[in-house]
């Protein structure tokens, strides 16, 4: 028998006893009925407290009631705690999910059935130029005012992505944003964005690279084809024949040099960076490239250049010997090619304030205008195309130098003044430099 039933019987019995005291059967019945009503009133108050508590669903402030209602409260309290824990876990997972979306390099926007922004990560806001908090609830078509996007949004065919202009550092240089909508739920839409500026730039660079390679190869091939046709159709004396063969040899050498530089760039880009296991005498590297430069000036300059080494500290450098030789040789050969005959060229090693070291080449050439300096390491970029072709340059030398320096944790630096010459530097970090101890 439950506590509520016992309480009911006791109150009814108490009322009946009080009525019986009056020595009347009617009073006995009335007393029992009064006891039952009193119990109903008290039980109703308890039920009301339970209902009010359930309305608040505060498990920490459960009313203290005994009996059946107390058991109901206890079970409800346990169920509420269980649901609260489940809700907390769900909230935590949702927060983790939203944090992951916030960290995504792609933009994510949730649109309601009317095209209003329900949620957006910061990436998408940056891509499209709106505020992810202030602009919640705004129509996306009012924030992205692009005719192509407006037509795409209204068209209803979202099986493809479109590209629109995003906010850039300057109005003349907007970013390129790829956008695609994905319907879900009840007419809601998931909008994804990604910045494809770098992809388009890389594609443009690829096209330019292919065009430049084609142009650089076509020129000597045209010359070779012309000389071959001439020698096949026109009788030549020995002197003309020898001269034509010499010119053909020069063009063939030009193509061979171009192919060799292209293969070098491909190898540098496709192989892992060199480790620090091999230590090379910096003086040995300097001596080797200086000898090559002196041989080059005798071959291409009517008046040989004054090429000499600058005394520096005894150093060991760590890296790939062939790559370092290639980069150093490119800097010296450029100095020889672009400095008028008889000019002065100096090269050497010196320490840097950060503990690293640098290989430098200084020339007395014509110098380079400031607007050209940021682009010097681009493939096939030339300040003076006619001068480069006259001296046999491929336009890839400084691109090779940049890649070698970066693979060794360093960088290329250029200082130049028109009419006063230039200084090119390969800077290496301290981790790849060790001073040679004499004795």
For residue range 334-387, what is the model confidence (pLDDT) as tens digits? 999 889 988 999 999 999 998 999 999 999 989 988 888 888 888 877 776 555
**Amino acid 178: pLDDT:** 92
126-130, 266-270, 367-371: least confidently modelled range: 266-270
Task: Find where tokens 């005498």 sit.
Answer: 281
- The mean pLDDT value for 282-298 works out to 91
pLDDT digits (tens, 9 = 90+) for 47-87: 677 777 677 666 566 667 766 666 676 777 777 778 778 87
**Amino acid 405: pLDDT:** 93
Predicted confidence (pLDDT) at residue 125 exceeds the cutoff of 50: yes
Token pair in block for residue 209: 């690279």
70-79, 111-120, 414-423: least confidently modelled range: 70-79
Task: Find where tokens 């916030």 sit.
Answer: 102
- The mean pLDDT value for 248-275 works out to 82
Predicted confidence (pLDDT) at residue 426 exceeds the cutoff of 80: yes
Predicted confidence (pLDDT) at residue 205 exceeds the cutoff of 80: no
Are 432 and 324 in contact by the 8 Å Cβ rule? The answer is: no
Model confidence band, residue 161 (pLDDT cutoffs 50, 70, 90): very high
User: Three-state SS across the chain?
Assistant: CCHHHHHHHHHHHHHHHHHHHCCCHHHHHHHHHHHHHHHHHHHHHHHHHHHHHHHHCCHHHCCCCCHHHHHHHHHHHHHHHHHHHHHHHHHHHHHHHHHHHHHCCCEEEEECCCCEEEEECHHHHHHHCCCCCCCCCCEHHHHCCCHHHHHHHHHCCCCCCEEEEEEEEECCEEEEEEEEEEEECCCEEEEEEEECHHHHHHHHHHHHHHHHHHHHHHHHHHHHHHHHHHHHHCCCCHHHHHHHHHHHHHHHHHHHHHHHHHHHHHHHHHCCCCCCCCEEEHHHHHHHHHHHHHHHHHHHCCCCCEEEEECCCCEEEECCHHHHHHHHHHHHHHHHHHCCCCCEEEEEEEECCCCCEEEEEEECCCCCCHHHHHHCCCCCCCCCHHHHHHHCCCCCHHHHHHHHHHHCCCEEEEEEECCCEEEEEEEECHHHEEECCCC
Model confidence band, residue 23 (pLDDT cutoffs 50, 70, 90): low
Percent of the chain with pLDDT over 90: 30
Show me where the domains of the chain are located: 3-95, 104-195, 201-271, 272-439
**Amino acid 145: pLDDT:** 87
Mean pLDDT highest for which of 43-57, 110-124, 243-257? 110-124
60-64, 130-134, 256-260, 333-337: least confidently modelled range: 60-64
Write b or e for each residue in 34-44: b if 16 or more Cβ atoms lie within 10 A of its Cβ, otherwise e: bbbebbeeebe
pLDDT digits (tens, 9 = 90+) for 179-189: 999 999 888 99
Percent of the chain with pLDDT over 70: 80
Look at 411 and 221; give whichever has higher pLDDT: 411
**Amino acid 37: pLDDT:** 65
Write b or e for each residue in 268-277: b if 16 or more Cβ atoms lie within 10 A of its Cβ, otherwise e: beeeeebeee
CA distance 389 to 253: 12
CATH of the domain spanning 201-271, picked from 1.10.8.60, 3.30.465.10, 1.10.287.130, 3.30.70.1150: 1.10.287.130
- The mean pLDDT value for 104-130 works out to 90
**Amino acid 60: pLDDT:** 61
**Amino acid 359: pLDDT:** 96
- The mean pLDDT value for 259-272 works out to 82
**Amino acid 386: pLDDT:** 52
Look at 294 and 202; give whichever has higher pLDDT: 294
Model pTM score: 0.57
**Amino acid 169: pLDDT:** 67
**Amino acid 12: pLDDT:** 54
**Amino acid 59: pLDDT:** 57
Predicted confidence (pLDDT) at residue 414 exceeds the cutoff of 90: yes
**Amino acid 31: pLDDT:** 56
CATH architecture under which domain 104-195 falls: 2-Layer Sandwich (3.30)
Predicted confidence (pLDDT) at residue 1 exceeds the cutoff of 50: no
- The mean pLDDT value for 97-116 works out to 86
Q: If one looks up domain 272-439 in CATH, what number appears?
A: 3.30.565.10
Predicted confidence (pLDDT) at residue 113 exceeds the cutoff of 60: yes
Non-local CB neighbours of 255 within 8 Å, separated by 6+ positions: 217, 220, 221
**Amino acid 286: pLDDT:** 94
Predicted confidence (pLDDT) at residue 193 exceeds the cutoff of 80: yes
Look at 422 and 30; give whichever has higher pLDDT: 422
């Amino acid at each position: 028998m439950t506590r509520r039933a016992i309480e009911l019987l006791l109150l009814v019995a108490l009322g009946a006893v009080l009525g019986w005291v009056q020595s009347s059967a009617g009073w006995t019945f009335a007393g029992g009925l009064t006891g039952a009503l009193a119990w109903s009133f008290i039980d109703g108050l308890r039920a009301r407290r339970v209902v009010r508590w359930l309305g608040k669903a505060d498990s920490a402030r459960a009313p203290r009631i005994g009996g059946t209602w107390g058991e109901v409260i206890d079970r409800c309290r346990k169920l509420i705690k269980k649901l609260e824990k489940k809700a907390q876990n769900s909230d935590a997972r949702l927060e983790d999910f939203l944090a992951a979306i916030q960290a995504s390099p792609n933009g994510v926007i949730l649109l309601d059935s009317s095209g209003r922004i329900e949620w957006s990560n910061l990436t998408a806001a940056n891509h499209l130029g709106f505020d992810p908090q202030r602009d919640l609830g705004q129509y996306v078509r009012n924030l992205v005012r692009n005719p192509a996007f407006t037509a795409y949004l209204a068209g209803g065919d979202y099986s493809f992505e479109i590209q629109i202009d995003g906010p850039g550092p300057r109005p003349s240089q907007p970013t390129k944003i790829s956008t695609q909508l994905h319907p879900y739920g009840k007419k809601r839409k998931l909008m994804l964005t990604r910045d494809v500026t770098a992809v388009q730039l890389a594609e443009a660079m690829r096209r330019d690279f292919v065009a430049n390679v084609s142009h650089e190869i076509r020129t000597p091939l045209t010359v070779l084809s012309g000389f071959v046709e001439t020698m096949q159709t026109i009788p030549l004396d020995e002197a003309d024949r020898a001269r034509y063969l010499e010119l053909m040899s020069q063009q063939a050498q030009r193509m061979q040099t171009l192919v060799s530089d292209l293969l070098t760039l491909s190898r540098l880009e496709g192989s892992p960076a060199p480790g620090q296991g091999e230590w090379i005498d910096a003086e040995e590297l300097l001596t080797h490239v200086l000898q090559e430069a002196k041989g080059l000036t005798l071959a291409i300059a009517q008046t040989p250049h004054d090429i000499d080494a600058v005394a520096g500290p005894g150093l060991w450098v760590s890296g790939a010997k062939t790559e370092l030789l290639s980069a150093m040789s490119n800097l010296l050969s450029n100095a020889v090619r672009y400095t008028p005959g008889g000019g002065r060229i100096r090269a050497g090693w010196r320490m840097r304030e950060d503990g690293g070291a640098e290989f430098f080449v200084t020339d007395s050439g014509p110098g380079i205008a400031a607007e050209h300096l940021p682009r010097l390491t681009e493939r096939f970029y030339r300040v003076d195309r006619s001068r480069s072709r006259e001296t046999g340059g491929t336009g890839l030398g400084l691109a090779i130098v940049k890649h070698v320096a970066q693979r060794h944790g360093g960088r290329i630096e250029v200082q130049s003044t028109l009419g006063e010459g230039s200084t090119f530097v390969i800077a290496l970090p301290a981790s790849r430099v060790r001073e040679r101890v004499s004795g």
